């Protein structure tokens, strides 16, 4: 794959800045979407490129995912100095102790567990992923009418409870009792590391919140320099689009070469 002239120029401009944040989603960006989330593995080349970028001066690299922190670390193989932001921003590898839930939030999770057990009886093909601050209903592999019915039921279940944030995605619905959002997490991280600009690649509805937040960053100069990339099809607020995970690897390699130069 060769980058389009506009994307190649944007990469060169971004790479020339003094301090940058390079961030990507994991599933659908570095790793193909699969039926069982724990079967996910990154395609060749993506993680090595990110690791090499993280070793360059003035370059912070982060994986920003809806996954919980420990599965994200396990499946990606990421090690320091890469930053891991999990659970849609609610978990951060730089903070000791992970996620602290109050009594009300723990009670909500217990209630969700009971109600999701009933939902599994109604829709036996769904899978429920357990996260520290959320439960996620997965429907990949189900016939489309059944999948849509199960997702609608899951969303309705979450919306009945004050304090539960419902986040839809591709074949998933997440019900979280503590939710920050990828957009807030990205802008906050960019401010903390003093980034002149942010690169972010994502493929899902939650990543659109990231693209929007970066475009609306209160730091207007940083917002103007944001390099956002949508992976795959669908409407987007990202500045650019690439086809798939392999194209992301080529993009990261191009960014690495330009940053080194």
The confidence score (pLDDT) of residue 129 equals 92
| pLDDT score recorded for residue 133 | 86
CB atoms within 10 A of CB 38: 10
Work out the mean pLDDT of the chain and round it to a whole number. 93
175 DSSP β-pair partners:
135, 166
**Residue that is written with structure tokens 């939710």 in the block:** 179
pTM: 0.80
Q: What domains, with CATH codes, occur in the chain?
A: 5-98+180-260 (3.40.50.1000), 103-176 (3.30.70.1020)
Helix (H, G, I), strand (E, B) or coil at 22: strand
Q: How many CB atoms lie within 10 A of CB 12?
A: 15
What are the pLDDT tens digits along the chain (261 aa)?
589 999 999 999 999 999 999 999 999 999 999 888 888 999 999 999 999 999 999 999 999 998 989 999 999 999 999 999 998 888 888 876 667 678 898 899 999 999 999 999 999 999 999 988 899 999 999 999 999 999 999 999 999 998 899 989 889 999 999 877 899 899 999 999 999 999 999 999 889 999 999 999 999 999 999 999 999 999 999 999 999 999 999 999 999 999 999
Q: What does the pLDDT read at residue 178?
A: 81
CB 16 within 8 A of CB 256: no
**Which pLDDT value is given to residue 97?**
61
What is the CA angle 26-82-59, rounded to 5?
A: 110
At a CB cut-off of 8 Å and minimum separation 6, what does 3 contact?
11, 250, 251, 254
Spatial distance between the Cα atoms of 38 and 130, rounded to a whole number of angstroms: 12
CA distances to 85, 105, 150, 166, 250 from 88, in Å: 7, 17, 22, 12, 26
- Model confidence over 200-222: pLDDT tens digits? 999 998 899 999 999 999 999 99
């Amino acid at each position: 794959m060769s980058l389009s002239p506009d994307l190649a120029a944007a990469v060169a401009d971004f790479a020339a800045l003094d301090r940058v944040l390079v961030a990507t989603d994991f599933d659908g960006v570095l790793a193909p979407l699969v039926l069982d989330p724990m079967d996910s593995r990154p395609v060749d080349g993506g993680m090595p490129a990110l690791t090499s970028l993280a070793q360059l001066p003035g370059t912070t690299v982060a994986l920003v995912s809806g996954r919980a922190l420990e599965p994200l670390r396990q499946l990606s193989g990421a090690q320091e100095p890469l930053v891991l932001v999990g659970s849609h921003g609610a978990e951060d590898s730089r903070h000791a102790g992970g996620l602290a839930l109050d009594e009300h939030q723990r009670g909500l999770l217990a209630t969700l567990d009971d109600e999701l057990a009933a939902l599994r009886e109604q829709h036996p093909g769904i899978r429920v992923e357990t996260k520290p601050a959320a439960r996620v209903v997965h429907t990949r592999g189900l016939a489309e009418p059944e999948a849509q019915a199960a997702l609608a039921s899951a969303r309705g279940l979450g919306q009945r409870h004050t304090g539960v944030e419902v986040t839809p995605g591709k074949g998933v619905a997440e019900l979280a009792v503590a939710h920050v959002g990828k957009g807030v997490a990205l802008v906050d991280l960019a401010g903390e590391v003093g980034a002149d600009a942010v690169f972010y690649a994502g493929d899902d509805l939650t990543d659109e919140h990231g693209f929007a937040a970066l475009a609306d960053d209160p730091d207007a100069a940083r917002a103007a320099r944001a390099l956002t990339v949508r992976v795959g099809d669908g409407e987007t607020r990202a500045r650019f689009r690439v086809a798939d995970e392999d194209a992301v690897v080529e993009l990261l390699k191009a960014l690495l070469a330009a940053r080194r130069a």
